[in-house]
Structure 1
Amino acid sequence: MCIVFVAFWPSPEAGQNSGYRLVLASNRDEEFGRPAKCAHAWNDGSGVVAGMDMTPGKEGGTWIGVNERNGRFGVITNVRQSLADIRPDARGRGCLVADFLRSEQTPLEYCTMLSERAAEFNAFNILLGDMSTGCLCYYGNRTGESPRSLAPGIYGLSNAFLDTPWKKVVAGKECFSSLLQTARVDGMAEDELQQRLFGLLSDKTKHWPDPLMQADDLPEEWLRDLSSVCVGCDSVAYGTRAKSIIVVTDDNQMLFKETAMQSPIQPGQEPVWQTSEFRFPVPESHPERSARL
């Protein structure tokens, strides 16, 4: 399970002069035994800043990241499937965000390319954006729908499709929206906004029972544990391993901040959490890139 809340306002007017063009908050939930690197600037010259999956055979993938040179960002979640529907021979999904961040394609172009290869992957959702052009796109390869550019607004996403009203998504989205409204009205300082976003991502309130989250192949005890924004399934060494925020201000300054468990995570021991923070300007759009939106 993973979860994403995003407020997208490509212009100050769209955001009702909130001070922000983008606010994104996301949790990565994963097995504690899966090796990964915390967020860092990749050393391949691409400008990518992200965590990195280090699972043998899948090294180099990521779940959320940005490109410090061009204002691009992306985040991916799996879509819950029955165990019988998961293909062990499917291509890894972790490469999708990383490949977009390195590419020259617009978010819509990249999502359209993915839609032509949808059957190669197990189920996923992907949100891709370019803040230099003010574009945000969503694609789910099991929705049966084409990729779409998103209008300004506030969205919630977990392991069903965009804005599917799982109780934890609805509750988290309401809290997220209220927080941003308070920030707009009261002129909340950035430090406080960060603190409250990470507070939302740390909320362990169980939103159970939830008929939309029911699954015949998972015990109810697990589903109950999965029904919170911040997940902890200690009995199976699974839960929220990384909490990330991406913020772009009206004056085009991007913040990417992550708090994540360091690998390896030792069974029965308290994890070591590492905080990484990156700041950089979002460049102005090139005319040829804007024309391709």
Structure 2
Amino acid sequence: MCLISFAWQPGTPTPLRLMGNRDEFYARPTAPMDHWRDSPDVVGGRDLEAGGSWLAAKRGGVVATLTNVRDLQLSVPPGAPSRGELVANALQCNDIEAWLSELSQGEALRYAGFNLLVATPTRLWHLHRGRERLALSEVPPGVHGLSNADLNSPWPKLLHVRGALEHAILQQGHLQAWPSAVQRAMQNPQEAAVEALPNTGVGLELERQLSAAFIVGERYGTRATSWLTLDSQGHIKITEQRFGPLGRFEGETTLALPSDSLASMP
């Protein structure tokens, strides 16, 4: 993913509501969201080039999603593995907290920069691997956003989509604005004003193009908008909308994952 907004409300009937956009080159081979043949308890999109994912969920109430960190000064080890494998690994490990701890103690430095979110009905972890720090933390309750920097970095598009979700969650407790109002914000192609742009080292023209929540292009752009809910019993409902060059709509899939016993959940 390249832009995520989520509401983390542990102890409520729906601890997690999350929506995000995946931006990628259209030529990169991708499988639409579905049950994974090699892991039938997992649903998500699949990167057919490297085998990982940007957002996936596992039966029983585990969700994992990832954004890349865009920083040209961040050193990347030669032969670094695909960051998308982190999503797959999060859903296939037996002890999430121990695995994340191992990553935070240095294993994550094998990868280029990333943010990884892993959620269960009772816990939500954020692992950040950037140039200045490698850190694992539990996300506090509230409405948050992630793009290609750290958690809640005030990039214009992040503030826009986070504000839409805050309005849906906080000002309209009946949640009539979820997911429609947040979806409209996620699919807004307006670019940010020049003075509000971050400086990630890619140059002004590309920085402007990437500042839109929904990127419209011929070779690169927003290929999917996905949203999900995770309830307190571990039930997950997830929807993926897919797009082609110039924002052409290519299809929508909604899947549900039932709950298993929560006894083994962290």
Q: Fold conserved (TM > 0.5)? A: yes
The answer for the alignment partner of 1:61 in structure 2 is 52
SS of 1:114 mapped into structure 2: helix
For structure 1, the residue ranges without an aligned partner over 5 or more in a row are 13-18
Residue 70 (str. 1) matches residue 60 (str. 2)? yes
Q: How many aligned residue pairs are there?
A: 264
Identity %, equivalent residues = 25
SS of 1:176 mapped into structure 2: helix
**Paired residues of 1:166 and 1:210 also in contact (CA < 8 A):** no
The structure 1 residue matched to 2:34, chosen from 29, 32, 40, is 40
Alignment of 1:206-225 (within 5 A): 206-210=191-195, 213-216=198-201, 218-225=202-209
**Paired residues of 1:6 and 1:155 also in contact (CA < 8 A):** yes
Q: 1:8 to 1:238 in 2, by over 3 A?
A: same
SS of 1:146 mapped into structure 2: strand
Residue 255 (str. 1) matches residue 240 (str. 2)? no
Deviation at 1:188, TM superposition (A): 3.8
User: 1:184-234 CA distances to partner (integer Å, 9 max, x unpaired)?
Assistant: 1xx245xx6233332221111222225561244x33222111111111244
Please give the alpha-carbon distance, in whole angstroms, between the structure 2 residues aligned to 1:95 and 1:123: 13
Please give the alpha-carbon distance, in whole angstroms, between the structure 1 residues aligned to 2:74 and 2:231: 44
User: 1:3-30 CA distances to partner (integer Å, 9 max, x unpaired)?
Assistant: 0111011112xxxxxx532110100001
The answer for the alignment partner of 2:126 in structure 1 is 138
SS of 1:26 mapped into structure 2: strand
**Paired residues of 2:164 and 2:182 also in contact (CA < 8 A):** no
SS of 2:179 mapped into structure 1: helix
**Paired residues of 2:66 and 2:116 also in contact (CA < 8 A):** yes
Please give the alpha-carbon distance, in whole angstroms, between the structure 1 residues aligned to 2:65 and 2:4: 8
Deviation at 1:96, TM superposition (A): 0.6
Larger radius of gyration between Structure 1 and Structure 2: 1
The structure 2 residue matched to 1:162, chosen from 118, 128, 151, is 151
TM-score normalised by length of structure 1: 0.82
Deviation at 1:169, TM superposition (A): 1.1
**Paired residues of 2:52 and 2:85 also in contact (CA < 8 A):** yes
Deviation at 1:283, TM superposition (A): 3.5
Residue 92 (str. 1) matches residue 74 (str. 2)? no
The answer for the alignment partner of 1:228 in structure 2 is 212
The answer for the alignment partner of 1:204 in structure 2 is 189
Deviation at 1:145, TM superposition (A): 4.2
Please give the alpha-carbon distance, in whole angstroms, between the structure 1 residues aligned to 2:78 and 2:214: 28
RMSD: 2.3
Deviation at 1:98, TM superposition (A): 0.7
Please give the alpha-carbon distance, in whole angstroms, between the structure 1 residues aligned to 2:129 and 2:253: 31
